[in-house]
Amino acid sequence: MEKQDVRLSLDEARREIESLREQIFYHDYRYYVLDSPEISDAEYDELMRRLRQLEAEFPELITPDSPTQRVGGQPLAGFQQVEHRLPMLSLDNAFSRDDLLAFHERVQRRLQGQPVSYVVEPKIDGLAVSLLYENGVFVRGATRGDGERGEDITENLRTIPSVPLRLRTKNPPPVLEVRGEAYMDRQDFDELNRLRAEKGEPLFANPRNAAAGSLRQLDPKVTASRRLNVFFYALGYHEGLELESHWQVLEYFKSIGLRVNSLIERCSSIDQVWNLCERIHGLRDSLTYDIDGVVVKVDSLAAQTALGSTGHSPRWAVALKFPPEEATTVVEDIIVQVGRTGALTPLAILRPVEVAGSTVSRATLHNADVLKAKDVRIGDTVIIRKAGDVIPEIVKPVESKRTGKERIFTFPDRCPVCGAEVQRLPGEAVTRCIGKACPAQLVEGLVHFASRGAMDIEGLGPALIRQLVDAGFVKDPSDLYFLDPEKLQQLPRMGKKSIENLMAAVEASKKRPFARVIFALGIRLVGEAAARELAAHFRSMERLMNASREELQAVPMIGDRIAESVVTFMSEPQNRRVIQRLAEAGVTMAEEEETAPAARPLEGKTVVLTGTLSKYSRQEAAELVRSLGGRVTSSVSRNTDFVVAGSNPGSKLTRARELGIPVLSEEDLEGFLKE
């Protein structure tokens, strides 16, 4: 730390830079290859920060293999061609157990009955890449291209964190070319498409296309922004290595920091091979990445050489392909479903079709943006994809099959279930129904309404709520206050005592403070803290209901989005009716006079928050402190009056103890509310 202010000599800088790079490479390796990090992100960031700082001071010490150089690179005008020293072959396909046995027989025949072991690997559905290391340093990377020559994508590969810029070995071979598959995790693919849909950009059809598109970018900064990954699975041209089997190659890869898939196993019989193929097939849906089969490779490198290859595929390996996860069918209709939280999801009703072993008759179109980006129309022939355990989705329409009779679907502006207005908040992809009485979201809304932080209706949990809704006794939250005890007896497991208790709990909830009533309404984005703020500021439901966007925005902590959400909620007649009936029932509809002006027991005090609190988000806790008159700062110093610590507190707690600053619990903090 102290070093930062002192100008280092070139030698000192060189030593520290080298040590930082070593540490960063080690932690990259722990994180990206072993999947087992040893330090926190913050500590890692600190190493990177220091390295960047030193390199800025001593630019002459920057080398291309520095971890800071992953995201450098100027956009290229075009890709250079790269000739592969050894051709990058492709694989013959097998589709059944019989095909696999036939492969095994061919191998045995050519090896004249010598015993043969195999290595079985998942076939990653990405794109093949070749990486060249000279004396352990990454110097060039290429796509497969036509197998003889590919494109130079060195700068793009450099941006992938699981590509080591230097091999983890003291004596690297002078030349080592390795091959592997670059790919994108399904989740990262979904997220990328979500962002693209939001920006109105064309979507990628699947993770493979997304990975290929990301690597064939002339601007490495774009590649760097995409989450790509590599599994290494083959040796290319090399000098100075003595290895006997493919298994040893993979072990060697791991030892020098090259990421190898963890499902790979060695098998000594073809039955074992088949069993493993089936097992990997069974895991297909649970993996984070797409696989389209398994690759079976003869283990012995001598046997591989003896077997040789035909024109473009080796005789020592075969790809056993799984049934495809994509199929073609017709969109018969598009409907919109309303989920438990009011989210509207467009769904395509499909002519039923077999995909990867199951029949698919519906596919999600996610949201209005995705629907628009994919331009799927009723009557379209479409490619659908069922990958992982996700709901099947539409990849794209087959435009050449359009007849002109297809109908464009327009997203509804009213909820298809209850007719209330739908709302899409700025920055959100989801369109929601805002109806408080919407049957689709009634149960969820009531659970929230009755919950502890809201109206706190004791004994009214999800199971009883469902019963009340199913019996038709409750159609919106206000109905809870007009329940007929006689009728409740019809419900199963509702004895006299339970009914009395429920009625008493409902009665007691009428006295909850105004802020809790606002919170209980379940207005999007209005959490407990915002509800308190609104209550304190408007003081009555009447005024809150009639507040304009500008008036709302003028309230501290209420931003544009919350203001928008409140205005839309209050303008929905359905919601005004619910509020009206709650008022008729005698629920608190205004701030009680004696609580104002609010007590400010933390007036002039400086408070630091650390760890996770159970009832409040960090922001809400900060608001609470401020509403009690206190000031929240982010680091502990001698000027701090209190530290509020939740679970898993960080170094701030340690620091507070060192300085002898009083540490409070969440309950202590709440205690101030009662003062």
Could you give the residue numbers annotated as active site? Answer: 123
Any bridge partners for residue 239, and if so which? 175
**What is the smallest separation between the CB atom of 103 and ligand IVH, expressed in angstroms?**
14
Cβ closer to ligand IVH: 233 or 322? 233
| Cβ closest to ligand IVH, residue 253 vs residue 642 | 253
Placement of tokens 């129904």 in the chain: 433
Structural tokens at position 198: 């939001």
Strands (E), 279-403: 291-298, 317-321, 326-338, 343-355, 358-364, 381-385, 393-397
Smallest separation (angstroms) from ligand IVH to the CB of 261: 7
DSSP letter string, 586-630: T---B--GGG-SPP-TTTT-EEEEESB-SSS-HHHHHHHHHHTT-
485-494 CB contacts, 8 Å cutoff, 24+ apart: 491/467, 492/467
List, in sequence order, every residue forming a beta bridge with 459; answer none if it has no partner. Answer: none
The DSSP 8-state label assigned to residue 284 in this structure reads G
Nearer to ligand IVH, 233 or 538 (CB): 233
Single out the residue of 138, 131, 164 nearest to residue 27, CA to CA: 164
Shortest Å distance, C-beta 90 to ligand IVH: 4
Give CA–CA dist 440/469, Å, rounded. Answer: 11
Taking residue 280's Cβ as centre, other Cβ atoms within 10 Å add up to 22
Q: How far is the CB of 88 from ligand IVH (least distance, A)?
A: 7
**Long-range contacts, 562-567 (Cβ 8 Å, 24+):** 562/525, 562/526, 562/530, 564/425, 564/426, 565/423, 565/425, 565/523, 565/524, 565/525, 565/526, 566/523, 566/526, 566/534
Residue 250 vs 460, nearer CB to ligand IVH: 250
Residue 225, helix vs strand vs coil: coil
* Shortest separation between residue 130's beta carbon and ligand IVH, angstroms: 10
Answer positive or negative: Cα dihedral of 62, 66, 71, 77: positive
CB of 151 to ligand IVH, least distance (A): 15
Q: Which is nearer to ligand IVH, 124 or 474 (CB)?
A: 124
SS3 370: helix
Give the DSSP H or E segment for 431.
strand 431-433
Query: Nearest residue by C-beta to ligand IVH?
Result: 128
Report cis status (omega within 30 of 0) of the bond before 346.
no
Interacting residues with ligand IVH (CB under 6 A): 89-91, 121, 123-124, 128, 144, 181, 233-234, 295, 314, 317, 319
Residue with smaller CB distance to ligand IVH, 128 or 488? 128
CA angle 502, 508, 509 (to 5 degrees): 90
Burial track 194-209 (b if 16+ CB lie within 10 A, e otherwise): eebbeeeeebbbbbbe
Listed residue (451, 440, 464) closest to 340, CA to CA: 440
Cβ distance to ligand IVH smaller for residue 91 or 544: 91
Of 119 and 270, nearer to ligand IVH (C-beta) is 119
Output the smallest distance, CB 640 to ligand IVH, in A.
55
| CB distance 290 to 186 below 8 Å | yes
Cα gap 260→130, rounded to integer Å = 15
**Residue 87 CB, nearest distance to ligand IVH (Å)?**
9
CB under 8 A, 24+ apart: contacts of 55-64 = 55/17, 57/7, 57/8, 57/13, 58/10, 58/13, 58/14, 58/17, 60/10, 61/10, 61/13, 61/14, 61/17, 64/137, 64/165
Say which DSSP state 378 is in.
Answer: B
Distance, CA of 627 to CA of 243 (rounded, Å): 69
Residue 413 DSSP symbol: S
**Of the two residues 321 and 561, which places its CB atom closer to ligand IVH in the complex?**
321
3 state SS of 43? helix
